[in-house]
Amino acid sequence: MAPMIRNTLAALGFMALGATSMLALDASASGPGGHGPPPFPGAGLARAMGQLDLTDAQEQALDALKDEVRSEMMAGRAERLERKGDVLDQVLAGEIDRAQLHKQIDAEAARRTALAHRMTDRVLDLHDSLSPEQKAELAELIAEHQERREQTQGEGQRGGRGDSRPR
């Protein structure tokens, strides 16, 4: 195969590879210390619950939730790596299956949606187990976090434009 054709096919393959993995990048980069949105609605709530004085049963439920999220994220990551290899194989063979790529994107979106629903339900179940005092403390923690976030965004922190620079 001519080098120019091989290079063009490789470039197309890497673009296709980027498209198939783009859906999951935010999930794999999220979490404590990560970048991007949380892996599911309620993830921030679960992190905030970790700051409360929880009962042993609540601590165990929160730890189990964290373990399950970690396990699901690693499984999703392994699946994405396998799909990347499939796409590269197609590129090197010179035949990219467009329908298969679209099917993979749909499957990843469905997997992530199902995961988000399961994890959100787990967080809400844990929230239901909190005492009224714990719920009040949690509400305070979230309000403080939101206030800090609004202040830092308003000051142009974290790469944002903010209000501190002229427009």
Q: Is the pLDDT of residue 11 over 90?
A: no
Crossing angle for the helix pair 56-93 and 98-128, to the nearest 10 degrees: 180
What does the pLDDT average to over 157-166? 49
The token pair that represents 50 in the structure block = 């970790």
Q: What is the pTM of this model?
A: 0.59
C-alpha–C-alpha distance, residues 119 and 75, integer Å: 15
Q: Of 115, 124, 24, give the one whose Cα is nearest residue 71.
A: 115
Confidence grade of residue 7 (pLDDT, cut at 50, 70, 90): low
| Domain boundaries of the chain, sorted by first residue | 3-151
In this prediction, what percent of the chain has a pLDDT beyond 90?
13
Q: Of 77, 70, 21, 22, give the one whose Cα is nearest residue 43.
A: 70
